[in-house]
Structure formats: C-alpha cells, structure tokens
Copies of this chain bind each other. A is one copy, B any other.
Amino acid sequence: MWVHTYTRVMARIVMKFGGTSMAGIERIRSVAQRVQREAAAGNEVLVVVSAMAGETDRLVQLCREAAPLHDPTEYDVVVASGEQVTAGLLAMTLQAMRLTARSFMGWQLVRASGVHGNARVEAVEAPLLDEALKGGTVAVIPGFQGVSNDGRVATLGRGGSDTSAVAIAAGVRADRCDIYTDVDGVYTTDPRIVPRARKLDQVTFEEMLELAGVGAKVLQVRSVGLAMREGLPLRVLSAFEDKRGTDIVAELSGASMERNQIAGIAADRNEARVTLTGVPDQPGTVARVIAPLAEAGIAFDMIVHAATPNTGSSDLTFTVPRASLAQALSAIEARRGEIGFADIVHDDAVAKVSIIGVGIRSNPQLAAKMFDVLAERQINLHAVSTSEIKVSALIAEDQLELAVRVLHTAFGLDAEQAA
C-alpha cells in the first residue's frame, strides 16, 4: 500500500513595522497589503507593530506632566496603549481585506522579565499562537510590551522594538523575521559619503554586528546579536517601496558567496584619542591605565602601547567615545601617581574607518591592502585594531570621507551606476 503525503512548503514569518509605517489609517492599509501578500503566498504570518509615530512621545509627555518621577509600572500601563491601538486597527483592516486576522495583547502571550520600562522578552506563549497561525489566522501583536512576573503590563525599553520582534520570532520558531524600516536595506557604506554605495543582498550576522556597531543605524545591535544566537534569519526592507531588501544570515549563500570578501566600509566619527607619554615600559602598565576607565564605565577601544627602545619609557594611546573624553581624562589624572606618566594629551578631531567582511578571517592580504590604499593618499594612521572580520584605523577626522571613498573603490564595492 502506498501512502501519498503532500507537503506544502510554507514559511512562518514575523513582519515588524515601525511607527512611521503605522502613522494613520492610509499607511496601516498599505501595511495590510504587504501582510496580505505574504499570507497569499501560503506563509504563516505574525505581525509586530509599533504605535503610530508621535503617539509614544505624546504618552511619555503626559506621564512627565502627571509626575516627574513616575512609577515605571504605571508608565508602562500608559505608554503600552499606543501599540494596543495600532494592533487592533491593523487586525480589523486585514479582516476588511477578507483575511482571517486577530490581535493578541502583550499580556496574553509575551512574558517579560527585568525592570518595568526596560524589560526584555522572556518567553512567548507559543501554543495559543501556534493554533492561530496553523489555522491560517494572521496574528497581530503590539510590539514593545509583555506581561511581567507580577502580572502587570511591562514595556521593553524605548527603541527596543526590533529586539522584541526578534525575540517573539524566536519564541514562535519563525523561519524569518522581516524588519520593515525607512531604509531599503543594508549598504556597503553610508550613501551620503559614497553616492555609489551598493545595497547588499546578503550580509552575515557578524558583519552586520560590526556594521551596526560602528554607526550603520539600520538595526539595533541587540536585535542582531539575539537573531545570531537564535539562528534566526533577518531581512531588512523598505516599508514604503517594493524593493528587495537585505538578508542577514548565518552564512552567505548563492551569488553572495561570490561577492567581494569585504562587505562594507564603516565610518565612525564618535571617537576621541588620549595619549599618555613617558609611561613606564613594564608589565602591568596597560592594566593600570585601563582600570580607572573600566571602573568609571567608560568604553575604550584601540589600545596602542609603543615603547621607545632602551629608554624604559613608552607612549600609550587609546580611544574613548567623544562624550566620555572629559570623564576619561579626569579618571586618569586621579590615578597619575599610581600609573606614572609624563604628560597626557588628547585629540577629539579623530575618526575611525573600518573594512568589514568575513573574508578577512582567511585573507591577511586584505588588511595589508587597506594600509597601502590609505598610505597612497597620505592618510596617517594614529592607531590600528583588528578583529576576525574587521580592520579599523584611527585617522584625522577631516580625512574620513576621503578614506571611505578610496577604500570603497579599492575593494570593488562601487555600484555600476550612482545609486
């Protein structure tokens, strides 16, 4: 006897829409059309929505007026209402398009932990959602909120909506989480610096983490890290245009495997350099300098320790975020006796340029090429740091745009035509 089994290839997709996409009924209708398309293609669809643009600010302002130092649990009750409204409106808009759809409130299925006003998704009540999704219902969930252990409304921290969408997607074992935003994907570099920047079809999680970490603000770093840990592919795409976006994946596939070994060039102006001269050239020096920074919670980066041979003395350079410069200087000064240094100088007209790509791991020639290209243009390197998939150089800020452009061209990233 033969048993015929028919299997249908359907994916479970989480679609996340931000506040600009939900600002008003017309835009909600256009969101609903995108949802309809995914559902019509046979996918199980779960939509995570933000409040209408401006609404959360309005609610936060009401809380401030009511009480300058307000109870975060009551704050949560007030601000969570914005996404509740858009979830209901999107569900009824989908129904008007003859889709089966319903909203689920955060308190019905998203368990959150941590402090009120800044909680994180702990678990998703998957059975309730599973039943709906398998029955062909589009589930609409207010982003940015859940229910705390004490049974109260908890919000997930402002701007954490990408991360909450990824957490919900992981909770329901989605095949993919699509983040609809104002931009149409991830680019090889900032198109404002290089008009011929190219949109990437694919980028790895690691590359995206480095791109996001040095200033590409398409996605929140936390959401990328979470997706990487969960092995959940992300897709970044425009909420307003019908264009292919960028897939963020564990490993490159298809045509992207053949792409340049460098995914992109990142530029970061948020750097300041501190140099201590006449530091004793002995074990423990770096540790003694870094300790006061760490204690003060100041992020540091790009440490260079260069000894002058046979003098017993050395110079030590590191970078900190510009906003932390004053704090860093005073933390170091306070330990002057313990550290021992001749002078302390700083420079906040510096910037960091980085090449990023999984190819760097296996090809040291890429770093060498970067230094050659910059040297040819007389760009001086104050410091260099490398990681598995990134090489960064600290340069004068007024040379940053030149550096990005020449590297973008040298690594073959320029688009055929201006974007």
Measured CB to CB, the residues of A under 8 A from B are 25, 28-29, 59, 62-63, 65-71, 73-78, 80-82, 84-85, 87-89, 91-93, 95-96, 102-103, 105, 107-108, 151-153
Q: Are A93 and B67 within 8 A (Cβ)?
A: yes
A69 to chain B: which residues have CB within 8 Å? 96
A77 to chain B: which residues have CB within 8 Å? 84-85, 87-88, 91, 103, 105
A95 to chain B: which residues have CB within 8 Å? 67, 70-71, 74
Copies in the complex: 2
Q: Are B107 and A91 within 8 A (Cβ)?
A: no
CA A89 to CA B91, docked complex, whole Å: 27
Known: A65-B25, A81-B81, A153-B105. A75 touches B88 (CB 8 A): yes
CA A84 to CA B78, docked complex, whole Å: 6
CA A68 to CA B95, docked complex, whole Å: 11
Interface of A is mostly: helix
CA A161 to CA B95, docked complex, whole Å: 29
Closest residue of chain B to A62, judged by CB?
B89
State how many angstroms separate the Cβ of A64 from the closest Cβ of chain B.
9
Q: Are B107 and A92 within 8 A (Cβ)?
A: no
Closest 10 pairs (CB-CB, A-B): A77-B88, A67-B96, A78-B88, A81-B81, A70-B92, A74-B92, A25-B65, A67-B92, A74-B88, A74-B91
Q: Are A151 and B108 within 8 A (Cβ)?
A: yes
Q: Are B62 and A96 within 8 A (Cβ)?
A: no
CA A80 to CA B80, docked complex, whole Å: 12
CA A29 to CA B67, docked complex, whole Å: 10
Q: Are B73 and A102 within 8 A (Cβ)?
A: yes
CA A69 to CA B93, docked complex, whole Å: 10
21 pairs, CB–CB < 8 Å, chain A vs chain B = A25-B65, A59-B85, A63-B88, A63-B92, A66-B89, A66-B96, A69-B96, A70-B92, A71-B102, A73-B102, A74-B91, A74-B102, A75-B92, A76-B88, A78-B84, A78-B89, A81-B84, A81-B85, A84-B84, A105-B152, A108-B151
